[in-house]
Every structure is written in structure tokens, then in C-alpha cells.
Chains A and B, each alone.
Chain A
Amino acid sequence: MSIDTARPPVHTDHGGPLHAVRGFFRSREIPVAGALIALVIITTLINPRFLSPQSVKDLMLNATIVIILAVGQALVIITENVDLSIGSILGLVAFGTGSLFNAWPGVPIPLVFLAGMLFGAVLGAINGFLVTAAKVPALVITLGTMYIFRGILTSWAGSKQYFSGDNPKAFGNLSVDVFLGIPIITIVAIVVVIAVGIFMHSVRAGRDLYAIGSDRDAARLFGIAVGPRVLAAFIASGALTGLAGVLYTSRYNSVGALTGSGLELDVVAAVVVGGVAISGGTGTVFGAAIGAVLLSTITSSLTATRVDKFWQQAFVGMLILAAIIVDRAVSVRNARKLRVSESRDV
């Protein structure tokens, strides 16, 4: 389960199933998933309707868009970068989707998704290009593009809004219809998580992203094409954000100049809570996805148990701090073990 390149294999002498079990319990996804399960159980005990069919469907739908955004963001953060412009990208794509339906009412829906992802990928490529070529930290570059993209959207949209009533019924139904009890757009998100997860775990290019995030210079010396890989991560993140933007248009009642603003921090929070270290090189997209589900479920659960919503933000803050402390503790422990095993080898 753990595919953490920064962490050396320890206790290799044990081997076999025991090692697998230990690895499972040591992986960072487990505490997050445990917290999620505990949250659902406690909420259901207080309010049994929390697990009613409608409510479960809502929980899945609420998490869907953040899951997709978190997967994209995780790709970027694993390479020791960050993309703060995703809220603006989502807004541009969402408004673009509304405009597309307005200009061409009969447009085939798959084409809308394709156009949205392409648009997102282009915006992601701008970020990636600036980050790799200018060699300025992504935090600064994407902070800049966040405002630029939002500025372009504001002037493009003005006070114009597109409402869900303007879109074809079939498009709006995407975010309502279920297959085997699971909303279709949630299935899309799950497929995205699994596909990207396998890519990151087993494909060379995916492993390269971890290597770059762990130690950029070492990765370069090792012969990894750092620039193109980071660029690709930004493009992938942009495309996934584009997908999320199209889904946003399907799910919510209106898109306009302010759509998606502030979303980037929620997504970074989800990724960090899910065990992806902000310093790069560790974590999985599965963790990021679980982090996204956890954060969106907390909101619903605090609402369902009628806890004052002011606590909600404090709760998310505590989770972020907890995730970072766990992360730090793990890396300190690993560093110590690494020293011990190295001295043994000498």
C-alpha cells in the first residue's frame, strides 16, 4: 500500500505477509481513512438519518468534485510544487462550459468534457511552463496566475451568469443519476483516482514524480527529465481541474465570475490531510482522495449533528496540523532508522 520513495524499506528481514501488514498499518492513508469511518459512525449514532439513501448520495456527490481536484493537486505537490490557480481554472472552465452550451445548445456532452479538459490542460500548461522555465517557486507563479486567470474570467463574465436551466437536462442529470446506487460523476471520480493511483505506483513516469519531489538535483543527476515531468504534472492537474469545472457546471445552479474562488485552499488542505507532504516526494493520490472525502464529510456531519458551523473551520485546521505533525514524526523516525541501517552496512 505504501509507495513512499522517501522512506527506505525497513525491516526487510521480516519479509512476507507480516511486512505487508506492517506496511499497511504504517501507511498514511490508514489514519485518515480511520478518522473518516469514525466520523461517519459517530454522526450516524447521533443522527441515524445521516446514512439514509438520499444522504449517502449527497455525501458522495459533495465529495466528488473535491476528489478530482485533490488528485490533480496531489500530482503537483508530490513534485514539490503547488498549484494555487486551480480555483480560477475551475471558474474559467465552468463559465466556458456555460458559454459553450449557450453558443451551441446541441453540443454533444462528451465533446463538452473534452473541451473542458483541454481548456484546463492549456491553463495548466501555462503554469507548468512558467514554473519550469522561470525557475521561480510554483507558489509565487501560481499565485500570480490565480489572479490573472481570475481577472480574465471577471472581464469575460462580467455580471453574466449561466444557470442550470440554460444547460441541457441530460447534462444536469449527470450529477444526479446513479448507477448501482453510486452517482455517475462519483464513478468518474473513482475511476480517475484508481487510474492515476496505478500510474503513480507502477509507471516509470509516475515514480519519476516522487523522485523529483524527494530531491530534484539527485533526480536530474539520475537522468530524469525534471522539466518535462513537472510540466506534465501541471498539465494533468489542469486537465483534471477542467474535468471538475465541467462537473461543477452540471452540479451547481449557476456559474459566473466568482465561481471556484477560494477553492484552492480547501483542495490543498484535503491533499495535506490525506498524507501528501507539502515538501514533496511522499503520499499517494488515494490518500489525497480520502482526505477530500474526509473534509467534505466533516462539513456534512457537523451540519447533520447541528454543531455550530464556526467549529467546522477550526476542525479542519486541527486536522491539517495533526497531519503535518504525523508527517514530521514519521520522517524523523525514518531518518533515524536510515542512519542505523546505514551504519550497520558499513
Chain B
Amino acid sequence: MELFSRKSRGGRRAATVAAVAVSVALLATGCAAGGSTDGGTDSAGGGGDNTMAFLPKQLNNPYTDVVLGGGEDGAKEAGFTSQVLGPLEASASAQIPFIEQATQEGSKVIVIAANDPDAVGPSLQTAREAGAKIVAFDSDTNPDYRDIFISQVVAKDVALIQLEIISEQIGGAGDIAILSATATATNQNEWIKYMEEELASNPDYKDIKLVAKVYGDDDADKSFQETQGLLSSYPDLKGIISPTTVGIAAAAKYLSTSDYKGKVALTGLGLPNEMREFVKDGTVKEFALWDPAQLGYVAAFAGKALVDGTITGAEGDTFDAGDLGEITVGEGGVAIVGPPTRFNADNIDDYDF
């Protein structure tokens, strides 16, 4: 293709100018709009004495927004101003510039959900040397780089509640399958491992057989097709567990519009707003999750306790977590917020996330 017109007539030149103008205008809108989120300073703050910086895995994620909402409430109650800093894409290195920014602005506490446990290490180390306390939440960093890790729930509880629900729904016997996210996701594999162990050891589940584990990569389309594949490959399938919000919603959407609706049970970890429709139309009876807002809320109070010097993040430390009472730090500097919650037709309207 030619780069320049050989016959440059007036009309063409005008068109070229207009084309450039359009692209500049587009870029300007794109940048201006992107700027408000990309640079990511959401609320007041920007350094100073009592600032707490929240660094989620990525911005614009519905789940993250609820966690951060709780975090901002918690920070306010704990007497901190908060700011949210974060990348638009959940990649290992994307958080580093934001950690550096928080350090330069003199944040007292950095609350981080790490995209990679080690990649953020050196910059967190620098932040600590500058006097910041590091609270990891949602997804842990390497324990060397943080003071405390706030975990929403005990991994084993998450696994067991899903088995309990599916067992209730299929009457304690039959074939089940798991629709997971990616084959490499640490948390997914941990839950699946606990489920397999429980199925093998608990006599209540002796008639339940796990026939397949498939991976929908947290992509709506792939999860859709994997669900179809499960149902067409395993005629006797009684239930599906999907421990991922994208997976369970895609599977529910498929089931609700297929012949299998009501014949195959579905449960897992889902967001109430995403699952409401399917709980109301009977495709899904019950699913589980934790209340993500509590996670941010407790993380904020943990930050305050670290700054005040009431805890160091050692096992056995206790700190006050506002409305949620007193929280005890467990082994490895991990504090657990609470048990998972079950969502069903009776209570789903009480939640908005």
C-alpha cells in the first residue's frame, strides 16, 4: 500500500488533515477518559501523615470495587484518609510503579492484593524501609515482604461448603464435575485439592464421584463451551461445582437456557448480582462466597493496628476490627475474616455486589 498519494489534490489533502484531526480527537477522548482511572487516584489523599494506599490487583473489577468500598469505610473509621492506586490490567509488574508512588507520597500503610507474590517484593521492601506498614489482602505476597496477610476465609472451608451444597442438592449420590478457572490458578487448585481429599475420606460423600475437572479460563465463552462439553460427555452428571465467579455465571446462563435446567445442579462461588437471575429462575438453588467488603474493612483496621504498634503481625496478636469485633492473627501472620456465606433465594436480595 502506498504511503503518500502521488497526485496530491486539494481535496485529498483536506481529507488527510481531517483524518488526522479525527484520530487526535479520538486519542484525546481516550486519554482524557483513561486518565481518570489509569493514573488511579480515586479519593482524596495523595500522601501525608495518615494515608492508607490500597493497591488492588486491577481497577474496574466489580469484585475489587466491593473490597475497596469496604476498605475505604474501614480506613475512615480507623481515622485514615485512603487512596486507591492500581493498574487496569492484572499483570505481575504493573503494580510496581504504584507501590513506588505510594512510597514517595509517604503512605503509612500499603494494602496490597499481589498479582505476583515475588515481583512486588523489592519495591515493597523499599516502602518498608521508608516506614510504611504492608498489609496483604485477597492474594498474598511472599511473607517476607509484608507484615500481615488478611485472608477472607480458610481455604478448606471454602472447599467444604461447596461440597456440602452440592451433596444436599444431588441427594448425596451421583457424578459431579468441577468447572474451574485456569489450570494454573493457585487458589482454585488448592480448593479442588481439598474437595478431592474430602470426597475420598468423608463417608458421607462415598457415593459422590468426581468424574471431570475442566477449565474455562475465566472466559465467558470458554466456560460456556466447557459446560456444554461436560453435559454432552457425561450423560449421568448430577451436579457441577464452579469455584469461580465467571465460571458459575456462564454455566448458569447455559443451564438456564438448555434442556438440562433443573436436571443438573450447579453451585460454586458466585457474585450475588451476577447470580440473582439464576437463583430466581430456579437454575441455581444455592451458592457460596464471602462478603468481600469485610475483607477491605478488616485490612484497614489491621493497617491501623500495625501503625499504632499494637500488633506486629506475629501469631497470637489480636486487633480490633470495628464492627467485626476482635480478630486474631494466626500462623504465618495470616488473619482470617470469617466463614463463607451461603446465598439462596431467601437472602440474595440483601446483598448488592
Contacts and interface: CB of A to CB of B under 8 A. Distances in A.
Is this pair of chains taken from one and the same complex? yes
Interface of A: 47, 49-50, 52-55, 58, 62, 80, 126, 129-130, 132-137, 144-145, 147-148, 151-152, 154-161, 163-165, 172, 175-176, 216, 252-254, 256-257, 299-300, 303-306, 309
A130 to B, nearest CB: 5
Given A133-B15, A152-B29, A252 B37 contact: no
26 contacts: A47-B232, A50-B232, A53-B259, A54-B231, A58-B258, A129-B22, A130-B19, A130-B22, A130-B23, A132-B15, A135-B3, A144-B23, A148-B27, A154-B60, A155-B34, A157-B60, A159-B64, A164-B277, A216-B1, A253-B249, A253-B253, A253-B274, A254-B220, A256-B62, A303-B228, A309-B226
Chain A to chain B: the 7 pairs with minimum beta-carbon distance, closest first: A303-B229, A165-B277, A155-B33, A253-B253, A133-B19, A151-B30, A133-B15
A19 B304 CA distance: 84
Contact of A300 (B214, B215, B229): B229
Contacts of B253: 164, 252-253
A231 to B, nearest CB: 11
A309 B226 CA distance: 10
B225 A175 contact: no
Nearest to B228: A58
A191 to B, nearest CB: 22
Contacts of B276: 163, 165
B5 to A, nearest CB: 6
Given A58-B258, A252-B224, A52 B232 contact: yes
Interface of B: 1-5, 12, 15-16, 18-20, 22-23, 26-27, 29-31, 33-34, 36-37, 59-62, 64-65, 88, 212, 214-215, 220-222, 224-226, 228-233, 235, 249-250, 252-253, 257-260, 273-274, 276-278, 280
Contacts of A126: 22, 26
Contacts of A136: 1, 3
A304 B23 contact: no
Given A54-B260, A254-B274, A155 B37 contact: yes
Nearest to B259: A54
Describe B's contact surface by its main secondary structure.
helix
Contact of B1 (A137, A175, A253): A137
Contact of B274 (A49, A158, A163): A163
Given A135-B16, A257-B60, A303-B230, 8 more contacts: A49-B235, A53-B259, A54-B260, A55-B228, A134-B16, A135-B4, A163-B273, A252-B253
A131 to B, nearest CB: 9
Contact of B19 (A47, A49, A53, A129): A129
Describe A's contact surface by its main secondary structure.
helix
B229 A134 contact: no
A310 B82 CA distance: 43
B177 to A, nearest CB: 11
Contacts of B4: 135
Nearest to A52: B232
Contacts of B212: 306
A53 B220 CA distance: 23
B27 to A, nearest CB: 6
Contact of A304 (B232, B259, B280): B232
